[in-house]
Amino acid sequence: MPSHPPRIAIIGGGPGGLYAAALLKRLDPARHITVWERNAPDDTFGFGVVLSDETLGGIEHADPLVYEALQQHFIRWDDIDIVHRGTRHTSGGHGFAALGRKRLLEILHARCHDLGVDLRFRTEAPPDLAETHDLVIAADGVNSSTREAHRQTFRPQITTHRCRYIWLAADFAFEAFRFEIAETEHGVMQLHGYPYAPDASTVIVEMREEVWRAAGFAELDTQGSLDRCAKIFTDALGGRPLRSNNSAWTTFRTVVNARWSHGNTVLLGDAAHTAHFSIGSGTKLAVEDALALAACLEEQPDLPTALQAYEDERKPVVASTQRAARASLEWFEDLGRYLDQPPRQFAFNLLTRSRRVTHDNLRLRDAHFTGAVEREFGCPPGTPPMFTPFRLRGLTLRNRVVVSPMDMYSATDGLPGDFHLVHLGARALGGAGLVMTEMVCVSEEGRITPGCTGLYNGKQAEGWKRITDFVHTQAPGTAIGVQLGHSGRKGSTKLMWEGMDEPLPDGNWPLVAASALPYKPANQTPRELTRAQLTDLREQFTAAAWRAARAGFDLLELHCAHGYLLSGFLSPLTNQRTDAYGGTLAKRLRFPLEVFDAVRGVWPDERPMTVRISATDWAEGGTTAEDAVEIARAFAAHGADAIDVSTGQVVAEERPEFGRSYQTPFADRIRHETGIPVIAVGAISSWDDVNSLILAGRTDLCALARPHLYDPHWTLHAAAEQGYDGPGVVWPDPYRAGSRRPQTGRTDAPKPRLTLGT
């Protein structure tokens, strides 16, 4: 198959298909390129199209004529207006460009015609194109028949979401991108609106399915829906009517394909992937697909290599966009939980919902708006949100950064030694508000590996006291917490770097768990705990907590996550008991709550207790996000001061949805549905992420693990990089000389001062 296919068929005459045709024809005028489009040339769906400066830069470089034509019709604006409960907040500096979808298609039709592309409107694509052409580009949209015809190869996954929306227009131009929230008797509705012409705006109305039905939209015809939406959002529209263009209420579907090509057929645009309209990415992604495909066909030696290169280039970009779009989509699905936030914090939360716009990014765009949000939140002047204090019971943390518990597997007979002193001491000196130990085991049999620490004898307690004394003496103002746990069915395994979760080759100890289920087939099958053993375990936790208090820890966390013993009781996948400790969620909670109560009974009253949970098992039939809310409520009712919200590691067959801050939405939900303080964890890697999550109200504290392995002084460096030198973080006196970034050699060259003509 040639790398420059001479006969190309394109199925679908949307922007992605047309732009691909124009690019490929321009690169090789000898090509014969045909576009099949089932609709008429002036048929289009939707109204305005938003393109980013990045996408426009690619278009300008690849085809200046198309870029110049687009430039003549763009409407540009910088502001986003957020209207909620009668108050409008405006954030500037965002830089949008939009034009009508019909105008975009006209420009691309004209360019294809000028280049000699064969455009066939009102014509279904023949079924044998792959046999009669060298390359078939399937740009036939979200309902792609090409994708369905080769489903076994492409392996699409299509997820239907929870909101209904309708794509409409108004005959006037909004002054800015406008989000407006309407709280009706039937539930929350939202309007997304933006200008795309001097006298026209796109208007999308969206709401949860149950709200849509309760409001009677299911019984209304199109005109009835237009009238109802115009009435609900009359303030935003200034009393003007709405119009449609084959508009209908629909539900957004996220499309993901395992593969993008099959033989000489390749997917492009919505046929390959979709991303929710709330981040304005559909046309952008399709145009970028076309640019990448054309480039790969030019660069690679043969067609299979070119199609694979195209997929390898685009898939990570699309996956990142889809993660952001999913976060945005889910934020709007769950909009109701944020309605009672302070107005500016609500606006900030909305703007940063996808995690692509962050605190630092927004501060650069609009320092006035961001500063107002910070003042409303309670940040003293010049203080980033992460360096504001937070109180848990009698303990005040000077900042919101937590060194997350990390198993080090470096103890001998459960005894913390010099390694633990240096490891935890270094991170305490590094400025975090709270430093947590690894999971400290309550018994010898409760260890995960032979290298795990414990608190089941006095010598271990003395070893821990040596560490807490160092922290309190050398890093005053830093709190140190202990995490107590028992490995359950995940015990008696190798050190992590020797084989994570793999059983020891010899020297194994017997395991116990909620039910007699091995973690993996090769792992040991635990014994199901009897009532008498449950009592013994509760006493082991109590004794360890008493030792922890004597050792001087400031905070105690009960480990009920990651498939360890107490977590094993909570998950229906690991608890198959038929007695009072198994069955319903209330019964599965019974033993973990008994342990919590026993520990709280010996833990000093003024010192806080937290609980780490797995908010989802990432597996069918396991703990759900709804369960996690109820679990958090139960622990809070028994006196937990905060919930440390992690996920997964409960069953080996889990399928996590990894990504930046991917566990944060679970903490966010628990915080807003219960009012309980939360600690967010999971791929939070930058101080900008921490500031964004704190200021948006999605969490109270942020726990970071790997960043603190990479840089023990992560928090101090975060302060230096933000120019902060206040009480929220204190450089130890011996380190103060290093509180500025070291100087580096110059990398900039002298700039020319004169330009001489020839």
Q: What is the DSSP string of 272-304?
A: TB---GGG--HHHHHHHHHHHHHHHHHHSSBHH
Q: What is the DSSP string of 212-277?
A: HHHTTGGG--HHHHHHHHHHHTHHHHTT---B-SS---EEEEEEEES-SEETTEEE-GGGTB---G
Looking at the chain, how many residues does it have? 758
What is the H or E stretch that residue 695 is in? helix 687-696
The token duo for 273 is: 């992937």
The residues with which 170 forms a beta bridge, in sequence order, are 201
Residue 409 a catalytic site member: no
Backbone angles phi, psi at 23, to 5 degrees: -60, -50
Reference 349, options 370, 368, 323; nearest CA is 370
* 414 secondary structure, DSSP code: T
The token duo for 277 is: 């309209």
3-state secondary structure (DSSP) of residue 663: coil
**What is d(CA 385, CA 177) in angstroms, rounded to the nearest whole number?**
27
What is the H or E stretch that residue 395 is in? strand 395-397
The token duo for 143 is: 């309902």
**What is d(CA 665, CA 495) in angstroms, rounded to the nearest whole number?**
31
- Active-site option among 196, 338, 519, 564: 564
Reference 281, options 332, 317, 230, 232; nearest CA is 317
Q: 3-state SS of 668-693?
A: HHHHHHHCCCEEECCCCCCHHHHHHH
* 439 secondary structure, DSSP code: E
209 CB-contact burial (10 Å; exposed 0-12 / middle 13-18 / buried 19+)? middle
**What is d(CA 277, CA 462) in angstroms, rounded to the nearest whole number?**
58
The token duo for 571 is: 């998950």
The token duo for 230 is: 């115009």
What is the H or E stretch that residue 110 is in? helix 101-115
The token duo for 576 is: 């198959």
**What is d(CA 453, CA 415) in angstroms, rounded to the nearest whole number?**
6
* 666 secondary structure, DSSP code: H
15-27 vs 282-299: helix axis angle to the nearest 10?
A: 20
Residues designated as active site = 564
